[in-house]
Structure 1
Amino acid sequence: MEAFLMTLAVITVGLMAGVYVAFSVIVMPALKQVDAENGATVMQIINRDIVSSVFMFLFWLSSLLSLFLLVVSQQWIVKGGCALYLVGMLGVTAVFNVPLNKQLEAVTPHTKLMVWRRYLTRWCWWNHCRTVTSAITLIVFAAQ
């Protein structure tokens, strides 16, 4: 059973890492090239749509699998990978990326430029953290 759950964790964590990589190397660099009005608007749409997409299923499934494996695995390297994922992906998302998304959603026409510039810098930094921690976790899980 644990082997099956580990395989499922490899798949879901790998998909999540891929999403974060895509945002780090494609989506956000593209949004940096457009004006604040359009960049912020597109990101607001992404943020609204992503919560009702398959992304959320993968987000929670990968997190729950990591939590379960953290508890049941006998291998410390797996426990470390799980802890890294839960802190570096789930924790970072909850503490940094989601609040930044909420700030972006609440902008007014007068504050959009200022908020967007700050958002780009901070959100991208934290997304890079999610990318790296998800990739490391994927490597740890895949090696098992």
Structure 2
Amino acid sequence: MNDGLLFALTLTGALGCGVVGGAFFAFSALVMRALGKLPPAQGLAAMQSINVVAVNPAFLGALLGTGVVCVVVGITAIARWSEPGAGLLLAGALLYVIGTVLETIVVHVPRNNALATLDPEAEGSAQHWSRYASVWTAWNHVRTLAALAACALFILALAA
């Protein structure tokens, strides 16, 4: 891999991490707060709809495509460990893959799948929604910070 290709991959990774981190930030700062202001049945139903709409090529392409780029950048960083910025590249790649992609698969997807089975009007759904929203948002903060920190590390690596 030549330096031009590594530069392009790192820049693509930084942009992808920023886009995904920004989307997750919007949820933490705006969307979940807005859903929490709704009556529980409406908030739950709205989140069910969001979770269906989120499974689309644009969002999944950004989330998972950036993950693939990060894996390639991380492997390249290991292969070029003695070069300037290699540690930053590896740290950024690991932060994104573990803190954003893996966290989404392990924490958010199962919670979203469980939420999809609920009837918003059923007894007990309001309590489930309250717990879901609290835990989901806390973990969303984690993946937001991981993606944005990975973006910053890639930018620093480009400057190294």
Identify the residue that residue 76 of structure 1 maps to in structure 2: 87
Deviations 1:113-143, CA, capped at 9 Å, x for gaps: 1210110111001100001111111100111
CA contact (8 A) 2:13 2:154 kept: yes
Residue identity in the other structure for 1:142: I
The separation in 1 between residues aligned to 2:61 and 2:16, in whole angstroms, is 9
Cα RMSD over matched residues?
1.0
The answer to which of 48-57 and 34-43 deviates more is: 48-57
**For structure 2, which runs of at least 5 residues remain unmatched after alignment?**
81-85
The separation in 1 between residues aligned to 2:14 and 2:154, in whole angstroms, is 6
The separation in 2 between residues aligned to 1:79 and 1:63, in whole angstroms, is 13
Identify the residue that residue 149 of structure 2 maps to in structure 1: 136
Q: Number of matched residues?
A: 144
Give the TM-score taking structure 2 as reference length.
0.87
The separation in 2 between residues aligned to 1:71 and 1:4, in whole angstroms, is 15
> Displacement, 1:77?
1.7
CA contact (8 A) 2:92 2:153 kept: yes
Identify the residue that residue 126 of structure 1 maps to in structure 2: 139
The answer to which of 80-89 and 106-115 deviates more is: 106-115
The separation in 2 between residues aligned to 1:54 and 1:90, in whole angstroms, is 15
Identify the residue that residue 48 of structure 1 maps to in structure 2: 52
The separation in 1 between residues aligned to 2:89 and 2:126, in whole angstroms, is 43
Q: Give the SS at the match of 1:107.
A: coil
The separation in 2 between residues aligned to 1:133 and 1:12, in whole angstroms, is 12
Identify the residue that residue 106 of structure 2 maps to in structure 1: 95
Runs of 4+ in structure 1 over 6 Å off: none
The separation in 2 between residues aligned to 1:13 and 1:98, in whole angstroms, is 19
Residue identity in the other structure for 1:10: A
From the CA coordinates, give the structure whose radius of gyration is larger: 2
> Displacement, 1:47?
0.2
Identify the residue that residue 37 of structure 1 maps to in structure 2: 41
% identical aligned pairs: 26
> Displacement, 1:112?
1.5
Does 2:23 match 1:19? Answer: yes
Deviations 1:66-112, CA, capped at 9 Å, x for gaps: 11111012301210111111110011101111111011101132232
